[in-house]
Amino acid sequence: MVAAWCAAGCTMLALSGSASAADTPAGGEGRAVLIDDQLASRSIIVVSLDERLLEFVDEQQRQRTLTRAAVLALIPEVKIDTVPQRNRAARASGGGMLELTDGQRFEGDLTPTGGTDQSLAWRHPILGQLSFPIEHALSFWRPSAPEALRASSASAVTSDTLFLNNQDQLSGFLASAGDPIRIETPEGVIDLPPERVVGAVLANPRRAAAGARVWLDGGTAVNASRLTIDASLRSSFVLEHGASAMVVWSQLRAISFDSGRLVPLASIAPLSQSAAAGRRYAPPIRLSGSAPLDAQDIVMPGPMSVTWTLPDSARRLSFTAMLGEGTAPWGDCEVIVTIDGGEVARRRLNTDAPAASISVPVNGHSLTITVDSGRFGPIRDWVILGRPMILVGAPSGSVGE
C-alpha cells in the first residue's frame, strides 16, 4: 500500500485500498472508540500504534493512519468474558487501591517491608513492585478495608489520617509507610505494625494530570511513555520510574494521549443544582461507577438545572444525552446547554429520538445544563449525560482525511 500525504497542516494519512483479513486483528479484537482532537468519536479496529502513528481500519473497512497528535484517546471495546478472572474477582471483593495526587491509581496492596521514610512501596498484580514518594500519595486502601469506610472517607483532609482495623483513626503526619508505619500526632509519635492499618487519606496537594495515561482492567490508571501497540495487540509502555510494562488488549480499558487536555465533567463539583421552574424539588445528580478515561456518566433524575465552573482554557464540551431506561413512552424533554447564560445547544429527547450527541465550543466561565419537561410534563423525564468531557488547552493541528 502506498501512503498519500494530505496538504500542509493535515495530520492524517490515507492508505489506498480496503483492509483485508490479513491486515486486521483476528477474533474481533482491536475494536475501539477513537476520540479525536475535536472530541469527535468514531468506531475503529486498531491495527497497531507506534510513537508517531496510529494505524486502524475505519467503519468503511478502509485502512487509515492518524498521527498521534490528532488522537486524544482510545477506548477499547472489550467483552466481559475476555476479562481475566483474577481481575473480576478483585473488583468483586473490593481489592486494594493506591491513588496519587495527579489521579493515577494502582490496584494491589501495601508492601511495608519495602517502604522507607520517604517512600511508599506498593505491589501491583500486573506491574509488579512499585515505589512512590509519600508526598505524591493521596490515599491508599488495603484489600481488608471495608467499602463503607472507603466511601465515607473520600473527602479531602487537613492532616494525614490512618484508618485502623479496629475502626479507630489517627491523624497527624505520616512519617513512614514502612515497617513499622509511623505517624506523628499531636500526642506524640506512634508506631504501628502494618497489619493494623487498613488505609490512609493524606493531606498532600493535588497535581495536574499530564502526558499519556493508560487505564487497565481492575481500576489502574497509570502514566505511560513510549506507548506502543503491536500487531498482536500487546501494549508496551514505560512507567514514570522507568520500569517497562506490557499488557494484552483485554486488559486495556482506555488510553489518553494527553490526559491534561481531557477533563471529565463528573470530576468537577457542581456549583449549583436546582429544580426546574414550577417544581419544588429535584433529587441531586448521580454519577455512574468507574468509567474509561474516568469520564463517568452523569444522571439528571428529572427536570432540573445544574451549573458547573468551566476549567481554564476550556475549548469544547462533548457528551451524549440519553433518556434513561424505563422512560418510554412518557419520557419527553429538552436538554439545553448554556455558557455564561447564552444558549449554545438544545436537543429534544423522546421515544422516537431517545439519544442525541452534543458537541459545542465553550468559551466562558459557567456551564449550565438544563432538562426541561416536554408535552407529557415531568413524568419520567430523567436524562443520562453519557461520557461528558471538556477539552482544554491550545488546539493541535487540524485533522484531514
- The pTM assigned to this predicted structure is 0.84
- Fold designation for 263-392: Jelly Rolls (2.60.120)
Per-residue confidence (pLDDT) for residue 54, from 0 to 100: 97
Q: pLDDT class for 28, splitting at 50, 70, 90?
A: low
Whether residue 157 contacts residue 139, with contact meaning beta carbons closer than 8 Å, is answered with no
pLDDT in tens, 208-248: 999 999 999 999 999 999 999 999 999 999 998 888 999 99
pLDDT in tens, 39-77: 999 999 999 999 999 999 999 999 999 999 999 999 999
Q: Has residue 274 got a pLDDT over 80? A: yes
The count of C-alpha atoms lying within 13 angstroms of the C-alpha of 211, restricted to the half-sphere facing its C-beta, is 16
Q: Has residue 379 got a pLDDT over 80? A: no
Name the residue ranges covered by the structural domains of the chain. 1-77+212-257, 85-201, 263-392
Among 7-21, 162-176, 350-364, the range scoring the smallest mean pLDDT is 7-21
Mean pLDDT for 89-96 is 55
Per-residue confidence (pLDDT) for residue 84, from 0 to 100: 46
